[in-house]
């Protein structure tokens, strides 16, 4: 029962709450949680229209599916037709795409209600959601009772980061303004904030979800990420979003139309691998304790739990950086102020216009990556950096393949090194350093194109979420989520409930059904 999400409770029972009422409640909630800065654009009018349409369908008994009328949020690097899409950059601060990203369209076709576009690190470069043109995102858990009580912190000066780069989406789901949110994941950008904000965060297999309309960071690693309040929700959304898209030549057909996850997954038949290289420096003892705890749970339930080795892990982050920067330099070349986006007033020549547009439009993180990326791609450097990194990438992929083909079904690892840092601690190091540190556990899955999910397992001593990661072989997303749900069912992570969202009757009902109430 703890695996059920709230919307199922609301909508399955007739007369519980209507889509328009739910929409209004969420919009109200967005207003109340504005200090979190989770949203760049709130699509209030549109959302109400969509909710009304959903309501009519539900009244007529013809809902489009499980997501009809459900509020969702989208990271601001997904194109939304006629809705501003900024990538949290001055370069696109007034850019309005003329089309919807495929994954956005699919959700809209299901009748889901778009609440708005969420905040992020500029162009998805970062691990804190602190480096965007519209300011940093604040972690809702920093304003919740446990954090305040346990650390005696002042939420306004000791606020904690969401992680990144999809921090706004994680905050939206965690603060109950959306029931699901799309993020993007290139090196951990969905799983990282998912873990720090205590929500389920799925990075599907590369190629399973279309990238058409996702403004790219690294084309060969980007995937649309799914953030939800429960694993089952993530499975539902995956089932809707996966599949071949002719507009994206890197998509593959879904291995099967995803059916419901098994209620009682039997772990006796699986082997869980614990990669020894993931005992990384900086791993907090609490996260380590959670890692052991869940590994023990598997063992006690009869699963085989084995230590395995992914020997090239130590090289992964460096190679990731080389390949990431090279692709960034290439992908950002189109932002010249000519066709769309910011255009500098300095236009004495085309070259001057290009240079000043790009200087004005990009923050220094983006510019730094472009410069180093171009350096790596110079003819004289190409073999030493880019090709070398691709070769090591192959070795990293082989590490995983080797482990998975020797009987291991899933890998269990931490998602992040620690729980969420205070903003003032996080910003002691620059973006590049933080990214290198924080991406340690997450980016190898992007290098290898594998599916991975972060599941919240417990609150830390500071009252902040800790999550663990599962990694599975390519296209085994269903197995991955089945195992993830098994964990979710047993760890008792507190569900976030908003006292504002429920009537007192519901509140009593929730308590009686075993929900821990955290009011935000």
Q: Does residue 79 touch other proteins according to CB under 8 A?
A: yes
Residue 6 CB-density burial (10 A; 0-12 exposed, 13-18 middle, 19+ buried): buried
Q: Does residue 361 touch other proteins according to CB under 8 A?
A: no
Tell which one of 379, 383, 504, 512 touches other proteins (CB under 8 A): 379
- Structure token digits, residue 181: 């949110």
Q: Provide long-range contacts, Cβ within 8 A and 24+ apart, for 427-434.
A: 427/128, 427/130, 431/121, 431/125, 431/126, 431/127, 431/128, 431/131, 431/365, 432/365, 432/368, 434/126, 434/127, 434/128
Rg of the Cα trace of the chain?
22
Q: Does residue 214 touch other proteins according to CB under 8 A?
A: yes
**Whole-angstrom distance, CA of residue 178 vs CA of residue 172:** 6
> Considering beta carbons, is residue 84 or 304 the nearer one to other proteins?
84
Q: Does residue 303 touch other proteins according to CB under 8 A?
A: no
Which run of H or E residues covers position 104? Answer: helix 102-109
The span of 89-97, 298-306, 393-401, 512-520 binding other proteins (CB under 8 A) equals 89-97
Q: How far is the CB of 131 from other proteins (least distance, A)?
A: 19
The angle at the Cα of 61, spanning 59 to 65, to the nearest 5 degrees, equals: 110
The sign of the dihedral angle between the CA atoms of 71, 72, 73, 77 is negative
The structure tokens 């269903």 sit at 478
Write down the catalytic residue from 18, 89, 129, 165: 165
> Considering beta carbons, is residue 30 or 396 the nearer one to other proteins?
396
* Site track for other proteins across 403-432, x = CB under 8 A: ------------------------------
The footprint of other proteins on this chain (CB under 8 A) covers a number of residues equal to 43
- In the residue annotation, 75 being an active-site residue is answered as yes
Chain residues 138-197 in contact with other proteins, contact rule CB under 8 A: none
Tell which one of 66, 69, 97, 467 touches other proteins (CB under 8 A): 97
Chain residues 235-264 in contact with other proteins, contact rule CB under 8 A: 246-250
Write down the catalytic residue from 18, 89, 178, 189: 189
What does 13-34 look like in DSSP terms, one character per residue?
STTS--HHHHHHHHHHHHHHTG
**Whole-angstrom distance, CA of residue 169 vs CA of residue 181:** 5
Do the Cβ atoms of 87 and 122 come closer than 8 Å?
yes
Q: Does residue 354 touch other proteins according to CB under 8 A?
A: yes
Peptide bond before 350: cis, by omega within 30 degrees of 0?
no
As beta bridge partners, residue 468 has: 414, 455
> Considering beta carbons, is residue 10 or 117 the nearer one to other proteins?
117
CA 342, distance to chain mean position in Å, is 27
> Considering beta carbons, is residue 219 or 314 the nearer one to other proteins?
219
- In the residue annotation, 405 being an active-site residue is answered as no
Chain residues 485-514 in contact with other proteins, contact rule CB under 8 A: none
Tell which one of 280, 295, 301, 377 touches other proteins (CB under 8 A): 377
* Site track for other proteins across 309-348, x = CB under 8 A: -----------------xx-xx--xxxx-xxx--------
The contact set with other proteins (CB under 8 A) reads: 78-79, 87, 92, 95, 97-99, 101, 211-216, 218-220, 246-250, 326-327, 329-330, 333-336, 338-340, 350-351, 354, 374, 377-379, 382, 386
Write out the catalytic residue numbers. 75, 165, 189
């Amino acid at each position: 029962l703890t695996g059920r999400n709230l919307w199922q409770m609301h909508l399955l029972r007739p007369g519980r709450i209507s889509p328009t009422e739910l929409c209004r409640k969420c919009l109200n909630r967005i207003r109340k949680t504005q200090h979190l800065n989770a949203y760049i654009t709130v699509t209030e009018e549109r959302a109400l229209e969509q909710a009304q349409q959903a309501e009519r369908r539900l009244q007529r008994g013809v809902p489009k599916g499980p997501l009809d009328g459900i509020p969702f949020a989208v990271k601001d690097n997904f194109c939304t037709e006629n809705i501003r899409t900024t990538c949290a950059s001055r370069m696109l601060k007034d850019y309005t795409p003329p089309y919807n990203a495929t994954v956005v369209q699919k959700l809209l076709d299901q009748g889901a209600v778009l609440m708005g576009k969420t905040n992020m690190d500029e162009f998805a470069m970062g691990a804190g959601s602190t480096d965007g043109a519209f300011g940093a995102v604040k972690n809702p858990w920093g304003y919740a009772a446990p954090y305040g009580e346990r650390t005696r912190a002042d939420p306004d000066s000791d606020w904690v980061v969401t992680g990144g780069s999809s921090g706004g989406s994680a905050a939206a789901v965690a603060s109950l303004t959306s029931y699901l949110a799309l993020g993007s994941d290139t090196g951990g950008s969905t799983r990282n904030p998912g873990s720090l904000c205590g929500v389920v965060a799925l990075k599907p297999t590369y190629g399973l979800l279309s990238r058409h309309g996702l403004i790219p960071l690294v084309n060969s690693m980007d995937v649309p990420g799914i953030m939800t309040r429960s694993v089952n929700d993530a499975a539902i959304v995956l089932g809707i979003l996966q599949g071949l898209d002719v507009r994206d030549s890197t998509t593959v057909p879904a291995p099967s139309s995803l059916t419901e996850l098994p209620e009682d997954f039997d772990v006796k038949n699986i082997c869980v691998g614990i990669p020894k290289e993931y005992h990384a420096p900086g791993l907090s003892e609490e996260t380590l304790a959670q890692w052991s705890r869940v590994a023990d749970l598997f063992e006690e339930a009869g699963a085989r739990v084995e230590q395995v080795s992914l020997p090239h892990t130590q090289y992964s982050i460096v190679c990731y950086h080389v390949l990431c920067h090279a692709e960034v330099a290439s992908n950002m070349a189109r932002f010249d102020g000519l066709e769309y986006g910011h255009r500098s007033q300095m236009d004495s020549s085309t070259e001057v216009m290009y240079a000043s547009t790009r200087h004005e439009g990009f923050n220094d993180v983006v510019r730094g990556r472009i410069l180093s990326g171009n350096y790596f791609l110079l003819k004289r450097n190409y073999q030493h950096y880019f090709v070398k990194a691709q070769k090591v990438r192959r070795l990293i992929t082989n590490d995983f393949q080797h482990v998975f083909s020797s009987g291991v079904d899933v890998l269990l690892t931490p998602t992040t090194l620690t729980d969420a840092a205070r903003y003032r601690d996080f910003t002691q190091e620059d973006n590049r350093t933080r990214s290198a540190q924080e991406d340690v556990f997450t980016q190898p899955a992007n290098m290898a194109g594998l599916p991975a999910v972060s599941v919240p397992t417990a609150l830390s001593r500071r009252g902040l979420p800790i999550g663990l990661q599962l990694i599975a072989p390519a296209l085994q997303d269903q197995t991955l989520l089945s195992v993830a749900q098994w964990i979710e069912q047993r760890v008792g992570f507190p569900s976030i409930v908003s006292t504002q969202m429920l009537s007192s009757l519901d509140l009593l009902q929730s308590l009686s059904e075993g929900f821990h109430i955290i009011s935000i």
